[in-house]
Amino acid sequence: MSELAREELSALAAIYCEPGACELLAASETHGISFRIQISVKELLDTDVLLKLLFHLPVSYPSTLPDISVTSDQLTRAQCMDVKEKLLEQAKQHLSEPMVHDLILWVQQHLKDVIKQSATVCNEKTTLSKETEDGIWMLLLHLDHMRAKAKYVKTVEKWASHLRLTGRLMFMGKIILILLQGDRSSIKEYLILQKTSKVDVDSSGKKCKEKMMRVLCETEVESQHKRFQTFEVKEYSAPEELQKEFETAGLTALFSEFVPPLLK
């Protein structure tokens, strides 16, 4: 990663020094650096809004724009997407110079305006069809283990085919991830099957339901995400190989937010 990125992260850590305010997620000489900044924006709709801003700075940063992800329990997914789009617009004005702190200051000053504008646009879209509203969705699951691996894998492949879902069943050491893309209704149906069907066996060999699955992310596929054309089962020998799979699909921010904690 560039020296500018290192210096910028060091400065941000000094500015946002409260516990949990600045968290390094991943750092690599070949893939860049990912970190999360957590800020509280006051006096918005008479309440504080806690924003979690995830930045991925590629090795070519700041000559290349950062990847940005925005989440907040106080905002809707659509509002978070609007904030992200505005931040990316601002980032283009700072190309070739360190910009993260300027972006954070901008969102603190303009969040209220973005939310108001988002509400107006939302009201104008009330006539959207159900199909348009649903769109294509993505689901990332973490499985704790597979005792009956061959049977489990075959079952997942059958469900994905039946529901016309694409994506990956990924094995890397002890880490097992399922990444799916498809219609929202099919994603929901898959989750029901995963939770209610006897897909594995317990320590005594008796068929059992999946009780240790975690939903890491469920969201609409965005324009920068590439659609998987098929569903494949893949094994990776190193975290870098797994990371490259996510990067190829335009999911660098998704990897940085959810996978590194599993590697610890």
Sequential pLDDT tens for the chain (264 residues): 577 888 899 999 999 999 889 998 888 888 888 899 999 887 555 678 889 999 989 889 988 899 898 888 888 878 888 899 999 999 999 998 999 999 999 999 988 888 877 655 544 443 343 444 457 899 999 999 998 999 999 999 999 998 999 999 999 999 999 999 999 888 988 988 888 888 888 888 898 888 889 999 998 888 777 888 999 999 999 999 999 999 998 899 899 999 999 987
What is the secondary structure of 81-93 as a DSSP string? HHHHHHHHHHHHT
Domains of the chain and CATH, by start: 3-124 (3.10.110.10), 136-263 (3.30.70.100)
Cβ(31)–Cβ(24) below 8 Å: no
- Which residues on neighbouring strands pair with residue 215, listed in sequence order? 141
The pLDDT value given to residue 1: 56
Cβ(52)–Cβ(28) below 8 Å: no
What is the pTM (predicted TM-score) of this model?
Answer: 0.58
CA-based torsion, 217, 214, 176, 234: positive or negative:
negative
The pLDDT value given to residue 115: 82
- Which residues on neighbouring strands pair with residue 198, listed in sequence order? 209
- For residue 53, give both structure tokens: 């801003």
The pLDDT value given to residue 41: 86
The pLDDT value given to residue 134: 54
**Amino acid letter, residue 194:** Q
Burial class (CB in 10 A: 0-12, 13-18, 19+), 261: exposed
The pLDDT value given to residue 31: 80
